[in-house]
Structure 1
Amino acid sequence: MPDQSTEKSENYSPRENASESSLEDDSLVKKAKGGDEQAYSQLVEKYERALFYHILKMVNDREQVEDLVQETFVKAFDNLDTYSTNYAFSTWLYRIATNHTIDYLRKKKLNTLSIDSPVKTKEGEMEMQLPDESASTDRKIIQKQRQKIVQQAIQDLPEKYRKVIELRHMEEKSYKEISEVLDSPLGTVKAHIFRARELLYKELKDKKGRF
């Protein structure tokens, strides 16, 4: 007679006791992989608010947080094939959000060289930071090439998506201002920016080696 406890252990899945909500996510993800846009929308609607407050704990700029939430969904949906149902979709999504936000914060920091050993003075120890002036001509050339590739990708977008991206990222207008400029509902503006970023991400991902 087989050892039932051993048999149970071997057949055990980390999702064996998954909640009804989590199983619903699995169903939506499966549909989304098949190209069901309604499934995409349902996942966004379900987690958009929760991700907003999750990222807000790390970035104290509500409008920037909205951008990061959208970018998180773009990355997640573009990489659905890497998602394993051995783990909850929400856990996977939050990990993407956290990593993306950390990347954003790193890029935002000024390039500095830290002096690890503090300098001792009469007033106590003082840590020093010096600007990184080691940027080479090659780096500047790469930066120009990168900008050119991104600008061309933006120009190749359908007009309704190109306009919102230019207003948002080149003119740095708020969602409300874009809505007023284009005389479009705020929800439509956000949806178009989301779709534009998704198209850009897919286009630029293939050219990643040139960055």
Structure 2
Amino acid sequence: MNTAIIYPKPNQRQIYEDYSAKIYRYFRYRVKNVWDVEDLTTTVFIKVYSKLDQYDGRHPFGAWIFRIAHNALIDYMRKKRECPVDQETFSTLTATDKLPEECVLTQETTEGLWQKVHTLTKDQRNVISLRYLADLRMNEIAEILGKTEASVKILHFRGIKKLQQMMEAKA
């Protein structure tokens, strides 16, 4: 008896609405130039739409689309030979309904945290960013990175633990 889950194919509008912001944030974290981020995001959606008939439904759609995004980023990095570090990216992600003092403190903490993320291993950085910037589940991250879910959970745990230690040492 075959009990495999078959995931439905979403329509193009739904795909864009559900994933455009997540993919943009995923690229923005790694690429300095905003124009390149927009180009990469557009490229991903062009590839997704052109290959939509190749999506077989056996894996979560989010994992499939982020695999395309991840591959596009790898291609970009090979072409640009750019180190994916952008320290001002996360300042735009803070809430604006706080008092100015709270905003400054939150911004400093966020910037400090994401600066420390850059000290993690490449695999840990990938897992942390896919988990918290793209809001993906562990099984989707595992599929995107071509790793087992258990290894992704270990990378996540060790990365978070290392970040906690660095933040506590700072305090």
TM-score by length of 2: 0.44
More strand by share: 1
The answer to which structure, 1 or 2, has the higher relative contact order (CA under 8 A, 6+ apart) is 2
Larger radius of gyration: 1
The normalised TM-score by structure 1 is 0.36
